[in-house]
Amino acid sequence: MNLTEEQKKGQEVFFKIISEAWENEDFKQYLIDNPEEALEKFFGRKLPIDKKIKITDQSDPEYLYINIPVKPQMANKEPEETIKDHKNGRIMTDYKGLYNSLQKIKK
C-alpha cells in the first residue's frame, strides 16, 4: 500500500508524538490528562482539527492492546472486504517496522 504525501506527513507527526511520550514521562502524563493542550504546546500552535482527542496509554508490555477504529461506511461491501492485503487477504500491523520507524525519528 502506497501512502499519500498527506498520510506520510500525518504518520511523521504521529511518530514524533509517540517518541516524545516514550522519552518524557511528564509529557506522556500531560498528553493523557489534557491531550489538546499538550499537543498545542508541543507543536506551538492551535490544532487544525475539529475533533476531540482521546489518548490511551498502551505502553504496558504485559497487555496486548486492540484499537477498534471507526467502521468504514462502504456501500454494497462487507467490512471484511475493506481489510485486504496482497498475500493472505488480511492486513496485519507491522509492529517491528513501526517500532523501528519510531526509533529513527530525530527531534
Rounded to 5 degrees, what are φ and ψ at 57?
-85, 110
Measured CA to CA, the distance from residue 19 to residue 24 in angstroms comes to 8
- What would the grid cell of residue 104 be? 529513527
Residue with cell 500552535: 45
| pTM attached to this predicted model | 0.61
Residue 100 has pLDDT above 60, yes or no: no
Predicted confidence (pLDDT) per residue in 17-74, tens digit: 999 999 999 999 999 999 999 999 999 998 877 888 899 999 999 999 998 878 776 5
pLDDT for residue 74: 59
More confident residue, 95 or 22: 22
Residue 14 has pLDDT above 70, yes or no: yes
